[in-house]
């Protein structure tokens, strides 16, 4: 078990060399990840797509623990988009069942590491069994403070923005009161700072309707590594890439 940043140095020679380059004073507060490539990983190995999703779940757990040890406060994982319902029914059902099983299995991880779980997306559109387990998990972890993990489930950024507008109208907010700060409070990520870094795996160069409003000044990192192969070394490289950039936010 990796207990803190220092213990990450025990991970191995190549990872250790990379870790020594990290500036602990420039760790991103919020990292978002588009976990892409599970199906291709499975196909390359002659396996069924389910095997890719299962191995991808291992990557998600490991990256969550590494992010925690590095001092990252918010980690948002894009697990299932509102467009993913278009996939074959058997694959969707397998994903929903796997998400449920992972919630059961990872309870101890959340408790031991003081991790709070939150959902980014339309939870009402999820199967009732999964929805109940998500609500239960969010409730028991609500007081956890070390890191917040946002699972983006049944999520689409355009719909999130439309829903935010509807909520503002329903509350009869005067137009003169609407600004960026207020609008952000009506998004799924209302209690989170905007991501500092977005990582997308598998080599695809797009953000796929993910956090469109929140990514305005986020640093983007695209890697050809498929998500099931994205582990500590690749994660460190992404953090180093982020730290080597100059973030000006429109300034000179």
**Catalytic-role residue among 4, 38, 84, 172:** 84
**Catalytic-role residue among 4, 36, 163, 179:** 36
Length of the chain: 252
Cβ contact 60:68 at 8 Å: no
DSSP codes joined into one string, 73-101: -EEEEEEEETTGGGS-HHHHHHHHHHHHH
Q: Is residue 4 annotated as part of the catalytic site, yes or no? A: no
Four-residue CA torsion sign, 76, 81, 84, 90: positive
Residues 6+ apart with CB under 8 A from 96: 126, 127, 130
User: Cα-flanking dihedrals φ and ψ of residue 232, to 5°?
Assistant: -60, -45
Q: Residue 167 CA to chain centroid, in angstroms?
A: 25
DSSP codes joined into one string, 166-211: HHHHHTT--GGG--HHHHHTTSTTTTSPPPSEEEE-TT--S-TTSS
- Residue 242 CA neighbour count, 13 Å, CB half: 29
Q: Is residue 196 annotated as part of the catalytic site, yes or no? A: no
- Residue 213 CA neighbour count, 13 Å, CB half: 22
The catalytic site residues sit at 36, 84
């Amino acid at each position: 078990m990796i207990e803190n940043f220092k213990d990450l140095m025990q991970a191995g020679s190549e990872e250790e060399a990379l870790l020594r380059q990290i500036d602990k004073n420039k760790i991103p507060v919020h990292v978002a990840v588009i976990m892409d490539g599970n199906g291709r990983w499975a196909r390359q190995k002659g396996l069924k797509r389910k095997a890719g999703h299962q191995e991808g779940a291992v990557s998600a757990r490991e990256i969550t623990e590494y992010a925690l040890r590095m001092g990252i406060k918010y980690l948002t994982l894009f697990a299932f988009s509102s467009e993913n319902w278009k996939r074959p029914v058997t694959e969707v059902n397998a994903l929903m069942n796997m998400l449920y099983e992972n919630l059961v299995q990872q309870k101890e991880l959340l408790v031991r590491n003081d991790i709070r779980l939150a959902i980014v997306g339309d939870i009402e559109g999820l199967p009732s069994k999964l929805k109940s387990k998500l609500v239960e998990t969010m409730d028991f972890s609500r007081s956890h403070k070390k890191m917040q993990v946002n699972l983006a489930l049944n999520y689409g950024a355009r719909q999130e923005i439309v829903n935010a507008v509807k909520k503002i109208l329903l509350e009869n907010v005067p137009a003169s009161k609407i600004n960026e700060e207020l609008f952000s409070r009506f998004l799924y990520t209302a209690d989170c700072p905007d991501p500092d870094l977005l990582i997308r795996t598998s080599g695809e160069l797009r953000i796929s309707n993910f956090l469109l409003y929140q990514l305005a000044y986020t640093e983007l990192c695209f890697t050809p590594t498929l998500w099931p192969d994205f582990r500590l070394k690749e994660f460190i490289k992404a953090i180093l890439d982020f730290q080597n950039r100059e973030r000006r936010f429109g300034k000179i």
